[in-house]
Structure 1
């Protein structure tokens, strides 16, 4: 493996009793795979990442006992059969040349169960169940169960364990007064509050012996009131080292924190500075984490002395070959994690199997395969948006001859609008990656061309991926000069006034509002600006890293009102784990929102509305510009013409279903079609 391109990232790390082949850790993710009990499938997911060059993999969190499971029935190593099942995973990873550690995750009050336990009976704001306060005997049981989980992991062939002590889970709950109200030896003074994590590490080390990797995941910045100070974080790190930890990994923010930590609007390497503050204070390697998604970002973090190693989790959903591609000088071919959460965390929190928007094979390695074709075909794809590109690249890699047509002068389709939104800059990299993959796959690209039926007769297969067109809301006066479509706004085709009414509060309406309230540098591109906007400070100054003055966003560039016909909370249908961020961001920018609205008419003064079925409270919303984001309709006219001419075509993406701008579904549909063409 060449180290010249990324000398820090690709350097081995000597742990004394074992050496890691580079400085890349695949961070823990709960995928739901272990719960399927399809062990060869779980094994292949991890083995593919090991073959891709990652030095050390950490599994999703395994529960040490029933009360500690994130939800009832969460995976753990409870029986001899569980140990045998996990050996299928560890054998596959070792055969692929990798190392793997099992994360032991006790959820504490975050457990979605009436049996959840915690240091004190303080209910979490993100769970309906008040926890039971543990007594001395109960605490001893939790320690013993965590130790047992570690020894079972060792027996199952794991190279180590990660003890989860961050993100507001069980051990973290003991550390801060926010959740620990005890007055016995497990509460009160800081020394008492950190007694449990230290005892857990000490007892685990005692049980597994010296030659077993023991990672402690430490909360470097809690991002909650009454969280830990930096001095306390350093003290705990030093005690954890003394107790026998091999490595300290970084955790950022509790799950209940009102600060985004991994979503796409969070700047790259946004929290590496927090880990850097610990460097030199402990003698064991320190790992940094969060929003590190490309090799150059990871290299920069290590070269800057922020850590000894980097943890990347979702980038390994996007591309299992991340490390190998980096080492081979093919970084521009790494499918980028855009931190959208749509197929990973949103799936996890909806009880669905995890996958990845840009890589539908993630967690489906044994069921979605791209075998070389035995009968190469000529395939025409009309539309160079997400659906068409996904189909074309995979079909070409399988050996088909692919031509992609698009009437536009650039590829990307609706992704080109997404990348214009402040906070969605990662979409720029996604479109660039698609362009590179079209090139490497040898696809014929015909831009500025809208083929007709006759142009498509000679192809063996025709795929219609022509996307969507904006829906016509049919509002009297919408043809006026003060009315624009979201397309005109996001593609910078038209000037927008200072007072704006946005019609439609779905995903596009929210994106347009975000676009209109920002001017100048996007906070996602400027860490100082972003930290001020969300009220993030230095835990050396403010407990928990929460600025006492709170979030201080820049003044909105425009006065925006966001409206919808549906009588429900605007933004209710946005992503499960990111919707709150978009709602909070617009609230901070003083965007007014209204639901259950009838659009009566538009004139030079603005938008006239009424409320409810009875059309009550007629109101004028004074606006210089009205932007239409009233949904989309499928653009399938070409599909209909082909059908009439007796030519069979596959219709995918927005041309098939025009539900919002669903890139996840479009890419997934394209991948599944390309796999069988």
Structure 2
């Protein structure tokens, strides 16, 4: 290990529990990790155990529900410590024993409910609940106000759940949360809490729900069972369903810093043993679930404020995957623990790799949120775009082989690289050919904007990994059909990618693809028009606007990002708001018809003066080599964009599936 990182591996206490290092696995929605009885299924046990095996000091599970009557969630969505205590305790004990074998500690995250932010697919026939009759975050419904008896019932359920967690071998628990605008946080924020009883009005009254929860758990489980709290000192709410952007001046309608720090003092006085700090709310989701458009370490200033205010340990998450940043945050006394969520989805061995000085081998999270938040919201399943094995470690384990094969791979984008990696790990001999001078394919133009730096990191990781595995790689080599026919290969994988769709508007000399501009092969000038308002077009426009260009987007459909999806809501909503925030003009419902000199004419009669036109209207598969060979090569597969133009996740996943079964 590089000696400068040793401080990250010093032990520290939370309550009476000693955590062996400063790394915490952040709680992430554990959908797909439970069984119909409310216990942990084998997938869940394996998922958490592998992160403990990977060196993480403290595992905090994703959310579990202590109540399923006041707010119905549907069994099988996530675990429940109260539905069937026998099943929960048995399966928890089986999991915590395995986690403890690696010297890790594990806390159970427990929720009192989602309230107005319940994901629509999880509501069923039950009306959403809240502290007051307020607007639901996603649906055009008014939430039902909780009664005092229902609050008391939920508080008691927390005590029951904590008892079962302790019996099941958990070392402590985390309460979910005075954070992100979930049910208990809705009570704490005056924007949502209009009550006039003992649970409304003053800050102390609004925090009464959270106070009674920690008191109930301490009374039932004793002082030796730590209770931590997920806590947001600032909401970034401009209004209902309206959040603020970084650097934007606005009036905070949620919890502001002054009230947040006062709340932190009170919550610690009530008995919470640590505060797990982030910021944001479901109305400003891109703060709570930061996409690549947010800077790394975005919660650090807020964690520092909280740490300066309270005398219990502080945990800080929020794109903290850079080890130099993590160390700096510790040395600057901004936090006591570094919380990694999505980075541990991408690489469960992150901590051990850092400890042993193998930083280059850490697979990066690209903050796309396709496999995690996107799939949780759309399909109630937790996964990872860059790690197909995440949350299905046994199902997607590397398959043993009977006889090694020599496999030709044509194309060094994500699909080709992932296939080569998997084949090599399983014992086959992949030989990869890439026509350009560098591996990565569309990661390279996609990663050109500053906010997409992790796309480049992923390309670099593949290059490093294939080199470490000893994979034979031929760069600057365009493969012909004769090379395939005459090669001595048992199997051939075609992953030749895709090419941008291009068309002529007249002035071809100043009409470019987004790829050419992003890779700086051409100078687009100071006035730029982007044709196409999908993900590539919007990100290209944002990138150019941040560099001082005057940018206009022309989109044929009636709104931006209409054909991309399903994008995670935090990514999509933040990008939609960043476009006008950076003064990018948007023209929808119009098509470009001609470009002459510096004048671009649209079919709605508008004329735009522009130095260049950038085409971002999609990609088309490049599969001509496959078409030429499909009836000649017995074991031939088509992968990635060459098969179907899609995103990074499906390029990697499809390649893993095929390569793991050869």
Query: TM (normalized to structure 1)?
Result: 0.88
Q: 2:642 matched to 1:655?
A: yes
**Structure 1 counterpart of 2:555, from 559, 563, 570:** 563
**Mapped partners of 2:208, 2:497: distance in 1:** 58
**Mapped partners of 1:246, 1:595: distance in 2:** 52
**Mapped partners of 2:150, 2:41: distance in 1:** 33
Q: Please state how far the C-alpha of 1:134 moved relative to its aligned partner.
A: 2.4
- After superposition, the C-alpha distances for 1:82-125 in whole angstroms (9 at most, x for unaligned) are 33333333233234443221111221222343433222212233
Q: How does 1:524-543 map to 2 (within 5 A)?
A: none
**Mapped partners of 2:72, 2:278: distance in 1:** 17
| Alignment match, 1:292 | 320
| Alignment match, 1:319 | 347
Q: What SS does the aligned partner of 1:429 have?
A: helix
**Mapped partners of 2:379, 2:577: distance in 1:** 25
Q: Please state how far the C-alpha of 1:648 moved relative to its aligned partner.
A: 3.9
**Structure 2 counterpart of 1:620, from 607, 611, 623:** 607
Q: Please state how far the C-alpha of 1:238 moved relative to its aligned partner.
A: 3.0
Which is further off, 332-341 or 251-260? 251-260
Q: Is the 8 A contact 2:55 2:102 kept in 1?
A: no
**Structure 1 counterpart of 2:297, from 261, 269, 275:** 269
| Alignment match, 1:107 | 114
| Alignment match, 2:138 | 126
**Structure 1 counterpart of 2:84, from 79, 82, 93:** 79
| Alignment match, 2:49 | 47
**Structure 2 counterpart of 1:159, from 148, 162, 171:** 171
Q: Is the 8 A contact 1:39 1:89 kept in 2?
A: no
Q: Please state how far the C-alpha of 1:497 moved relative to its aligned partner.
A: 2.6
Q: Is the 8 A contact 1:476 1:602 kept in 2?
A: yes
**Structure 1 counterpart of 2:381, from 353, 360, 366:** 353
Query: TM (normalized to structure 2)?
Result: 0.90
- After superposition, the C-alpha distances for 1:313-349 in whole angstroms (9 at most, x for unaligned) are 1111000111111111111101111211111101111
**Mapped partners of 2:128, 2:462: distance in 1:** 45
Q: Is the 8 A contact 1:382 1:405 kept in 2?
A: yes
Q: How does 1:489-528 map to 2 (within 5 A)?
A: 489-519=517-547
Change (3 A) 1:16 1:101: closer
Which is further off, 407-416 or 123-132? 123-132
**Structure 2 counterpart of 1:228, from 255, 263, 266:** 255
**Mapped partners of 2:477, 2:25: distance in 1:** 43
**Mapped partners of 1:39, 1:437: distance in 2:** 32
| Alignment match, 2:336 | 308
Q: Is the 8 A contact 1:59 1:103 kept in 2?
A: yes
Q: What SS does the aligned partner of 1:179 have?
A: coil
| Alignment match, 1:443 | 471
Q: How does 1:385-534 map to 2 (within 5 A)?
A: 385-456=413-484, 457-473=487-503, 475-477=504-506, 480-519=508-547
Q: Please state how far the C-alpha of 1:149 moved relative to its aligned partner.
A: 1.9
| Unpaired segments ≥5 residues, structure 2 | 238-251
Q: 2:67 matched to 1:65?
A: yes
Change (3 A) 1:414 1:452: same
Q: Please state how far the C-alpha of 1:438 moved relative to its aligned partner.
A: 1.5
| Alignment match, 2:248 | none
Q: Is the 8 A contact 1:246 1:285 kept in 2?
A: yes
Aligned residue pairs, count? 629
Change (3 A) 1:429 1:144: same
Q: Is the 8 A contact 1:471 1:633 kept in 2?
A: yes
Q: Please state how far the C-alpha of 1:274 moved relative to its aligned partner.
A: 0.8
Which is further off, 406-415 or 590-599? 590-599
- After superposition, the C-alpha distances for 1:593-646 in whole angstroms (9 at most, x for unaligned) are 334434433322433222xxxxxx433333221111221111111112323544
**Mapped partners of 2:99, 2:32: distance in 1:** 16
- After superposition, the C-alpha distances for 1:245-284 in whole angstroms (9 at most, x for unaligned) are 2222113211112654411111111111111112243222
Q: What SS does the aligned partner of 2:452 have?
A: coil
**Mapped partners of 1:232, 1:581: distance in 2:** 26
**Mapped partners of 1:195, 1:313: distance in 2:** 29
| Alignment match, 1:522 | none
Q: Please state how far the C-alpha of 1:244 moved relative to its aligned partner.
A: 2.6
Q: Is the 8 A contact 2:529 2:552 kept in 1?
A: yes
Q: 2:578 matched to 1:585?
A: yes
Q: Please state how far the C-alpha of 1:380 moved relative to its aligned partner.
A: 1.6
Q: Is the 8 A contact 1:642 1:648 kept in 2?
A: no
- After superposition, the C-alpha distances for 1:131-166 in whole angstroms (9 at most, x for unaligned) are 222232222122112222222222222221100121
Q: Please state how far the C-alpha of 1:668 moved relative to its aligned partner.
A: 0.7
Q: 2:187 matched to 1:185?
A: no
Q: What SS does the aligned partner of 1:22 have?
A: coil
**Structure 1 counterpart of 2:95, from 89, 99, 102:** 89
**Mapped partners of 1:593, 1:26: distance in 2:** 41
Q: What SS does the aligned partner of 1:344 have?
A: helix
Q: Is the 8 A contact 1:110 1:127 kept in 2?
A: no
Which is further off, 365-374 or 47-56? 365-374
Q: Please state how far the C-alpha of 1:506 moved relative to its aligned partner.
A: 1.8
Q: Please state how far the C-alpha of 1:441 moved relative to its aligned partner.
A: 0.9
| Alignment match, 1:9 | 8
Q: Is the 8 A contact 1:34 1:42 kept in 2?
A: yes
Q: What SS does the aligned partner of 1:220 have?
A: coil
Q: What SS does the aligned partner of 2:460 have?
A: helix
**Mapped partners of 2:35, 2:560: distance in 1:** 35
**Mapped partners of 2:576, 2:631: distance in 1:** 45
For the aligned residue pairs, the C-alpha RMSD in angstroms reads: 2.2
Change (3 A) 1:16 1:172: closer
**Mapped partners of 1:658, 1:230: distance in 2:** 45
**Structure 2 counterpart of 1:196, from 196, 204, 209:** 209
**Mapped partners of 1:258, 1:86: distance in 2:** 31
**Mapped partners of 2:511, 2:596: distance in 1:** 9
| Alignment match, 2:652 | 667
Q: Is the 8 A contact 2:531 2:613 kept in 1?
A: yes
| Unpaired segments ≥5 residues, structure 1 | 520-555, 611-616
**Mapped partners of 1:275, 1:195: distance in 2:** 23
Q: 2:187 matched to 1:174?
A: yes
| Alignment match, 1:637 | 624
| Alignment match, 1:117 | 129
Q: Is the 8 A contact 1:9 1:23 kept in 2?
A: yes
Which is further off, 10-19 or 363-372? 10-19
**Mapped partners of 2:163, 2:267: distance in 1:** 19
Q: Please state how far the C-alpha of 1:389 moved relative to its aligned partner.
A: 0.7
**Mapped partners of 1:210, 1:665: distance in 2:** 47
Q: Please state how far the C-alpha of 1:675 moved relative to its aligned partner.
A: 1.1
Q: Is the 8 A contact 1:32 1:354 kept in 2?
A: yes
